[in-house]
A and B are shown apart, each in its own frame.
Chain A
Amino acid sequence: MLPYLQKLASPVHTALSNLTLEPSGGGSGKGIADAIGGTVQMGGSDAYLSDAQATQNPTLLNIPIAISAQAINYNLAGIKDLKITGDILAKMYEHHITNWNDPAIAAVNPGVTLPNQAIIPVRRVDASGDTFIFTSLLTATNAEWKAGPAFGTSVTWPALPGELTANGNPAMIQVCKANPGCVAYIGVSVEQAALSAGLGEALLQNKAGTFLQPTQDTITAAVSAGATNTPNDLRQSLVYEDGAQSYPIVNFEYLMVNSKQSDANTAAAIKSFLTWSITAGATPSNLASVDFVSLPTSVVPKVEAAIAKIGA
Chain B
Amino acid sequence: MAAANPLPLPAPGRRAGAALRLRALMGGADLSRGDRLLRAACGMAALIPLLALVFLVVPLAISAVPSVLFSGPAFLTGQVFSFGNLYAGSPSLHHGVAAPAGAQYGALPILLGTLFTSLVALLLGVPVAVGGVVLLAELPPWFQRTASLLLELLASIPSVVYGLWGIITFGPLVAKYVYPGLAATLGRVVPFFGGAVGYGQGLLTAGLILAVMIVPIIATTTRELVRMVPVHNVEGAYALGLTPFESLRTVTLPFIRGGILAAALLGWARALGETMAVLMISGNALNVYPVNIYGPVSTMAGTIAVMLDSALTDATGLALHALAELALVLLVVTFLTNLLGRLVVRRFTSTALPIGRGI
Contact = CB atoms under 8 A, between A and B. Distances in A.
B196 interface: yes
Contact of B306 (A161, A167, A171, A179): A167
A50 B310 contact: no
Q: Give the size category of B's interface with A.
A: 35 or more
A154 B312 contact: no
Nearest to A153: B310
Contacts of B201: 164-165
Contacts, number: 105
B313 A28 contact: yes
Most buried by A among B83, B198, B201, B285: B201
Interface in B83-121: 83, 85-88, 90-91, 100
Which DSSP category, helix, strand, loop or mixed, fits chain B's interface? loop
Q: Give the size category of A's interface with B.
A: 35 or more
Contact of A125 (B85, B88, B279): B279
Nearest to A154: B310
B123 interface: no
B295 interface: yes
B88 to A, nearest CB: 6
A149 to B, nearest CB: 9
A154 B85 contact: no
B307 interface: yes
A173 to B, nearest CB: 11
Contacts of B83: 152, 154, 156
A228 B295 CA distance: 47
A151 interface: yes
Contact of B309 (A53, A120, A127, A178): A127
A164 B283 contact: yes
Nearest to B282: A165
A33 B284 contact: no
A278 interface: no
Interface stretch (B44-52, B137-145, B179-187, B286-294): B286-294
B74 interface: no
A174 interface: yes
Given A52-B91, A156-B82, A156-B287, A28 B309 contact: yes
Nearest to A171: B167
5 contacts: A55-B315, A150-B87, A156-B83, A159-B286, A166-B167
Given A52-B315, A53-B313, 10 more contacts: A28-B309, A29-B308, A29-B310, A33-B313, A51-B90, A125-B306, A150-B85, A152-B313, A153-B310, A179-B199
